[in-house]
Amino acid sequence: MHTRREFLKSSSALAVAAPFASLEKIFSPAQRMFRMCLNPGAIGVSADQMGTLDLAIKYGYEAIIAKPDELLQYSDEQRAALVEKMKANNITWGSSGLPVDFRKDADTYIKGVEALKAQAPELEKVGATRINTWIMPSHNTLRYRDNFDRHARRLGECADILADHGVRLGLEYVGPKTLLNRSRYPFMRTMSETRELISHMGRSNVGLVLDSFHWYCAEDTYDDILRLSNEDIVTVDLNDARSDLSRDEQIDGTRELPLASGVIDLKTFLGALVEIGYDGPVRAEPFNKKLIDMDNEAATQTTYNAMRSAFKLVD
């Protein structure tokens, strides 16, 4: 499975500068419906599928990501035991990572599609209904329209495979200008551009991955989120930004846990999700070295504490 952190390791990001102004909002009373999801790989935790579930139960998470490549090796009895244990502890499924690298050559893409065809039925068997990937905001050789058409075609084919198994595909725009400027041709990096792609694809099982970090970097707003419905969002990432960098200097591969810096107005962000009745998973994806250097237990607990504190802003 390809991760954006691995993708970014192969090259460095450039930086520029600009200020950030926090927004204060007053929210009408509403009940939080979204669920705190444990995504171990994003916080440096090494755990298999059952180990992920055990950590979630121990520390109070409400959802976990599925690992379809591992589920392929499960027997029917192992699969049933996993699902039963999840139900007994009120744990639901979060969103898995798309195993298709659609950004490269045709052979690499086709190989990923074959992996997806094998993994999608495993998600269906355990009742997992969400998978996601990200969109790089620049390209070395493809101009905007050519890149747009490639994304629409390849991701549309992935969505069709997933639709046959009741799985939704989430697309994450990547907001930092440091990545927009990294390659020759700029591409989409905002919510509105990504929604245009989704509309053009015309698949009912495709929606957004909404990340507070990218929402902040792209200068998206509370009102932008209010224009969404619950059905428009596949999964949510909750992160803070570095306080030593301006908005335009932020680097995708180094972020903070929720509320660690206070740079991003997470009360506004989460409050908007409450307003639209979003009921899916919310996970942390800070790409934070200090967190990654912790052992599994400490990283899981620290992440839970940070997310719980953020949730209290709107609970």
Q: Is there a contact between 66 and 93 (Cβ–Cβ < 8 Å)?
A: yes
Q: Residue with structure tokens 């075609």?
A: 153
pLDDT attached to residue 30? 74
d(CA 212, CA 267): 11
Q: Using CA atoms, how far apart are residues 20 and 66, in angstroms rounded to an integer?
A: 36
What single-letter DSSP state applies at residue 280?
S
Dump strand ranges (E) for the chain.
Answer: 35-38, 63-64, 92-93, 96-97, 130-135, 138-139, 168-173, 185-186, 206-211, 233-237, 281-283
Does an H or E element contain 160, and which? helix 144-163
Count other Cβ atoms within 10 Å, centred on residue 243: 11
Mean pLDDT per block of 10 residues along the chain (315 residues) reads: 56 38 46 97 97 98 98 98 98 98 97 98 98 98 98 98 98 97 95 98 98 98 98 98 98 96 98 98 96 97 98 96
**Distance from C-alpha of 121 to C-alpha of 72, rounded to nearest angstrom:** 9
184 Cα distance to chain centroid: 26
Tell me the HSE value of 44 on the side-chain side, using a 13 A CA sphere. Answer: 18
For residues 235 and 171, what is the distance between their CA atoms, to the nearest angstrom? 9
**Cα dihedral 267, 4, 282, 297 in deg (nearest 10):** -100
Domain ranges of the chain: 29-311
pLDDT for 9: 55
Of 64, 86, 63, 82, nearest in space to 74 by CA: 82
CATH superfamily of 29-311: Divalent-metal-dependent TIM barrel enzymes (3.20.20.150)
Helix, strand and coil content of the chain, in percent to the nearest 5, comes to 45, 15, 40
- The number of residues making up the chain comes to 315
